[in-house]
Amino acid sequence: MSVERHPMTPYGFQQLKAELKKIREIDKPANVKAIEEARAHGDLSENAEYTYAKEQQGFIYGREKEVEALIATADVIDPETLSGDRVVFGATVHLLDIDTDEEITYTIVGENESDSKHGRVSIVSPIARALIGKRIGDEAIVNAPKGKRNFEVLDIEFLSVDTWKF
């Protein structure tokens, strides 16, 4: 049985490790304290603070397991080490929106590190799926939620994560 790998950049991997550290060192201890304080108030059957703290405990432990699994199955790919003439994971793609004549730039990243405000799109997004495998000069038709969009690939770069905007 093979394990499904999750592609991500070194930045995305570091973000997950930081989240796991926060869960373990801040969120879980704070939740334990909240449960203890709520228990001290007496009757647990009618104690909304206790009920809320226990619900939060479930969310915290669930997210911890999810982040642990993502880290364990991470396929960390540094865009700076890539090259080529095709769009792949980690590529920064400069596009021309054929319909509006607007130039747009997207970087294809892992699912947990996308940030549309800064031009980072998930590998599973419609735009990334339409761009994967394309070369400079190719057209890509994207079935976006707001309808079909037509793009031309103007350039493909493989940039260091250090150059990203945050």
pLDDT tens digits for the chain (166 residues)? 677 899 999 999 999 999 999 999 999 999 999 999 888 877 777 788 898 999 999 999 999 999 999 999 999 999 989 988 999 999 999 999 999 999 999 999 999 999 989 999 999 999 999 999 999 999 999 988 788 999 999 999 998 877 776 6
pLDDT for position 102: 95
pLDDT for the residue 1: 61
Domain that holds residue 65: 6-76
Q: Among 102, 99, 109, which Cα is nearest to 141's?
A: 99
pLDDT of residue 35: 92
Looking at the fold, whether 83 and 71 belong to one and the same domain comes out as no
For residue 51, being part of any structural domain is answered with yes
In a domain, 166, yes or no: no
Residue 85 and residue 69 share a domain: no
Let me know whether 138 and 71 are in one domain: no
Pair (131, 85) in one structural domain: yes
Q: Is residue 1 part of a domain?
A: no
Confirm whether 31 is domain-assigned.
yes
CATH number for the domain that contains residue 142: 3.10.50.30
Do 71 and 13 belong together in one domain? yes
pLDDT, residue 165, reads 67
Question: Is the domain of 61 the same as that of 105?
Answer: no
Domain count, the chain: 2
pTM reported for the whole predicted model: 0.82
| 28 shares its domain with 56 | yes
Among residues 16, 45, 76, which one ends one of the domains? 76
Beta strand 6-8 pairing with 74-76: parallel
| C-alpha to C-alpha distance for 131 and 123, rounded to whole angstroms | 10
Query: So what's the pLDDT on residue 166?
Result: 61
User: Which CATH number does the domain housing residue 57 bear?
Assistant: 1.10.287.180
Asked whether residue 165 is domain-assigned, the answer is: no
Asked if 93 and 127 sit in the same domain, the reply is yes
- How many CB atoms within 10 Å of residue 70? 19
Whether 115 and 48 map to the same domain: the answer is no
Nearest alpha-carbon partner for 156 in 102, 105, 81, 97: 105
- Whether residue 163 lies inside any domain: the answer is no
